A and B are shown apart, each in its own frame.
Chain A
C-alpha cells in the first residue's frame, strides 16, 4: 500500500508540472523570457531546455542540503545556489552553442530571478525527498519548454511565414518549412501572407493574451459542466427523497 502511494506521489509531482500546474500558463510565472525570446521557435526551445537544466539541478542540490541550511538564511542560500548554476549554464552555452547565447542575450542571466526557479525551491524542494524534487524539476521544465515553444511556433509562423530550423542549433542542416510565405528556388516570392506585427513586441502580448484567454475559457467551461452535473445530482437526490417520503 505504501509502495503504491509512493509511486503515485512520484507520478503526480511529475505530471502536475507539465499540464495542470503549468508554470507559465496556469501560475503565470516567468513571463519575461516567454515574451522576449520567442521571436523564433529555436531560441525559445533552447531557452526551455536551459531552464529545465537549471531547475532540475537547483532542486536537486537544495533538496540534498535541506537539513543543513538553517531556516532564517534560506533565501540567501537558495539565491547563491541558483546563481551558481546559472553561471555554469552561461559558460556552457557560450562555449558550445554561441548562436543561442547571442540570441538569448541578457535573459539567460535573468534565470536567476525567475519566479519559477525560486518558487519551486521554496515551495517544494525544501520539504520533499530528492527523487520527488528531481521529478518536480523535470516536470516543470518540460511544461515550461512546451509552453514557450508553443508561443515561439505561433509567433514565428505568423510573423515570418516560415518555420526555420537549424539557424541556432547548427548541427542540424538549415531548412525552412514554408507556411505563409513561399520563396521559389530562384528567389522569387510566390506568395507572402505573413504579418510582421507578430515579430514585434506588440505581437508577443497579443499571442500570450489570446492563449491565456483560451485556457481561461476552457477552465470556465469545465466549471460550468461540473456545476450543471452537480445540480442534476441534487435534483435526482431530491426526487428520490420525495419518492421515498411519498412511499
Chain B
C-alpha cells in the first residue's frame, strides 16, 4: 500500500517538474504566452486549467476503457474526447454560474477558453495512447495541472518585472517572453535526474 502511494506521488512530481507540461512537452503555449502581465488573471487561468484537466481525465479514461474499446471503435477517441471536454466545460460553467458566484468571479470567464487549450486534450489523449492504467492517468493529470499553474504564475511574476525594464523595441511583447521561457526551460532541465 505504501509502495502504491509512493509511486502515485512520484508520478505526480515527475509530470509536474521533470516532464513539465509547458517547458518540455509544449502543451499550453498559446495560453501561456497570451496570459496577461497581471498575476491575478494568470492564477485564475491556472486554477481553471487544473479543474478542467482533472475532471476531463476522470471522465475520459473510463469512457475509453469501458465504452469505446468493448464496442470496437477505438479510432473514435479524438472526436469523443473533444466533445466530452467541451460539454464538461459547459456543465462546470453552468454549475459555477448558478451556485457559486465567488468561483465565477475568480475564474469563470476563462472556462470557455480552456476548451481549445492543447494541454487538456493532449493529456487525455496521451493517457490512452500510451496505455496507462487509471491511477497513473490521474497522477499524470494532476501533475500536469499543478505544473501548469505553477509555471504560469512564475512566468507572470517575471513578465511583470520585464514590463518595467528597458527592452529593445524589436523584442517587446511576445519575443522577450519567449526568450524568458527559454531560460526557464534551461533551468528546469536541472530537474531531469531527480527520480532514478
**Within the complex, are A and B direct neighbours (CB within 8 Å)?**
yes
Q: Which residues of A contact B (CB under 8 A)?
A: 28-32, 35-36, 76, 79-80, 83-84, 86-87, 90-91, 105-107, 109-110, 112-113, 115, 118, 200-206, 208-210, 212-214, 216-217, 220
Contact indicator A76/B86 (Cβ below 8 Å): yes
Give the CA-CA distance A205 to B185 in the complex, in Å.
9
A to B CB contacts below 8 Å, 10 in the list: A28-B34, A32-B30, A80-B79, A110-B121, A113-B121, A201-B23, A205-B181, A205-B182, A209-B179, A217-B169
Contact indicator B117/A113 (Cβ below 8 Å): yes
Minimum CB–CB distance from B85 to chain A (whole Å) comes to 9
Contact residue among A80, A105, A220 (Cβ-Cβ distance under 8 Å from B83): A80
Give the CA-CA distance A202 to B185 in the complex, in Å.
5
Give the CA-CA distance A115 to B30 in the complex, in Å.
9
Residue B39 CB within 8 A of the other chain: no
- List B residues 158-178 near A (Cβ within 8 Å): 169-178
Give the CA-CA distance A31 to B169 in the complex, in Å.
22
Contact indicator B129/A209 (Cβ below 8 Å): no
Give the residues in chain A near B78, CB-CB below 8 Å: 83, 86-87, 90, 109, 112
Give the CA-CA distance A159 to B183 in the complex, in Å.
17
Give the residues in chain A near B179, CB-CB below 8 Å: 205-206, 209-210
Contact residue among B23, B75, B118, B182 (Cβ-Cβ distance under 8 Å from A206): B182
Minimum CB–CB distance from A148 to chain B (whole Å) comes to 13
**Given A106-B129, A202-B185, A220-B169: A91 and B174 within 8 A (CB)?**
no
Nearest A residue to B130, CB-CB: A106
Minimum CB–CB distance from A53 to chain B (whole Å) comes to 16
Give the residues in chain B near A201, CB-CB below 8 Å: 23-24, 26, 185
Residue B27 CB within 8 A of the other chain: yes
Give the residues in chain A near B176, CB-CB below 8 Å: 209
Contact indicator B30/A29 (Cβ below 8 Å): yes
Give the residues in chain A near B27, CB-CB below 8 Å: 32
Give the residues in chain A near B83, CB-CB below 8 Å: 76, 79-80, 83
Give the residues in chain A near B126, CB-CB below 8 Å: 106
Give the residues in chain A near B172, CB-CB below 8 Å: 216
Nearest B residue to A216, CB-CB: B170
Give the residues in chain B near A106, CB-CB below 8 Å: 122, 125-126, 129
Give the CA-CA distance A87 to B76 in the complex, in Å.
7
Contact indicator B125/A35 (Cβ below 8 Å): no
Contact indicator A32/B171 (Cβ below 8 Å): no
Extra contacts besides A205-B179, A210-B175, A217-B170 (9): CB < 8 Å: A36-B25, A86-B78, A87-B75, A106-B126, A109-B121, A112-B78, A113-B82, A209-B181, A216-B171
Give the CA-CA distance A148 to B71 in the complex, in Å.
38
Contact indicator B82/A32 (Cβ below 8 Å): no
Residue B100 CB within 8 A of the other chain: no
Residue B69 CB within 8 A of the other chain: no
Interface centre among A80, A105, A109, A216 (most CB of B within 10 A): A109
Contact indicator A83/B29 (Cβ below 8 Å): no
Contact residue among A35, A80, A220 (Cβ-Cβ distance under 8 Å from B29): A35
Contact indicator B182/A110 (Cβ below 8 Å): no
Minimum CB–CB distance from A50 to chain B (whole Å) comes to 14
Give the CA-CA distance A116 to B169 in the complex, in Å.
27
